């Protein structure tokens, strides 16, 4: 498989866009996977707070589960 994360992108892009209001494309590399550091910067996670906690607080449990599904 040339682009191992392309299927993951195709499967979750629509829900990601609906949940966060942005495309998942800037955060997904089709060879390396989801760039959680870049996404964390976009989220604006405060220092001393985990990205997961901040994500749950701002967007809820379903959004957190979505991001976890992208981190395979």
What DSSP element (H or E) covers 63?
helix 61-70
Q: Is residue 1 part of a domain?
A: no
Q: Flag whether 41 is in a domain.
A: yes
Instruction: Tell me how many degrees the CA angle 65-67-69 measures, rounded to the nearest 5.
Output: 70
Domain assignment present for 58: yes
Query: Domain containing 23: what range?
Result: 6-70
The domain total for the chain is 1
What's the pLDDT tens digit per position in 20-45? Answer: 999 999 999 988 999 999 999 999 99
Residue 72: pLDDT band with limits 50, 70, 90: confident
């Amino acid at each position: 498989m040339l682009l191992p994360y392309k299927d993951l992108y195709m499967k979750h892009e629509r829900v990601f866009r609906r949940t966060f209001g942005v495309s998942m494309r800037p955060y997904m590399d089709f060879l390396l996977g989801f760039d959680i550091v870049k996404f964390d910067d976009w989220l604006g996670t405060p220092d001393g707070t985990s990205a997961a906690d901040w994500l749950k607080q701002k967007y809820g449990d379903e959004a957190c589960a979505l991001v976890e599904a992208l981190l395979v």
